[in-house]
Structure 1
Amino acid sequence: MWNSPAEFFAMGGYALYVWSSFGVCAVVLLLEPISIRARRKAIIRRLKLERLAEQFDTESSQ
């Protein structure tokens, strides 16, 4: 379909759309695990604080 690498990278005049789409997809695929890890840490931190608060409440009520 393409006679040269330059034609392949030009994508028939749609290179900006095609390559920016690939770029956005790559960025999303890289950022998703990072955001999941951050959310997991935040949830674990919040659960630990809740557990400490419950322990404090039970100790102070006794």
Structure 2
Amino acid sequence: MQFDSFSSFIHMGGYAFYVWLSFAVSFGVMAVLVFASYQQHKSHLKSVVLEQERQQRIKRAKQNAAVSASHDR
């Protein structure tokens, strides 16, 4: 084993601040990436739903225009 005790493991031979800070920064960056990815995924899903609704409105408008044109004859 590299360390004599759990306390020496925590102190990391006098470099504990740098070691644990690097772990904290790494996990913090990963957490931000996960959160940002989740938000972006939600945004993309919302835009897909909005586009589908738009396409349905266009299709209905074309159908309504065709029906009203046939009634005008």
TM-score between both structures, scaled by the size of structure 2: 0.60
Could you tell me how far apart the structure 1 residues matched to 2:35 and 2:58 are? 35
**Which residue of structure 1 aligns with residue 7 of structure 2?**
6
Could you tell me how far apart the structure 2 residues matched to 1:36 and 1:46 are? 15
**Which residue of structure 1 aligns with residue 22 of structure 2?**
21
Q: RCO (CA 8 Å, sep 6+): is it higher in 1 or 2?
A: 1
**Which residue of structure 2 aligns with residue 49 of structure 1?**
50
Read off the aligned partner of 2:28 and give its amino acid letter. Answer: V
Equivalent residues in 2 for 1:26-37, closer than 5 Å? 26-37=27-38
**Which residue of structure 2 aligns with residue 39 of structure 1?**
40
- Note the C-alpha offset of 1:16: 1.0
- Note the C-alpha offset of 1:31: 4.2
Aligned residues: 62
Read off the aligned partner of 2:14 and give its amino acid letter. Answer: G
Bigger CA drift: 6-15 or 40-49?
6-15
Could you tell me how far apart the structure 1 residues matched to 2:4 and 2:45 are? 55
- Note the C-alpha offset of 1:10: 1.4
Where does the alignment leave 5 or more consecutive residues of structure 2 unmatched?
66-73
* Deviation beyond 6 Å, 4+ runs, structure 1: none
Where does the alignment leave 5 or more consecutive residues of structure 1 unmatched?
none
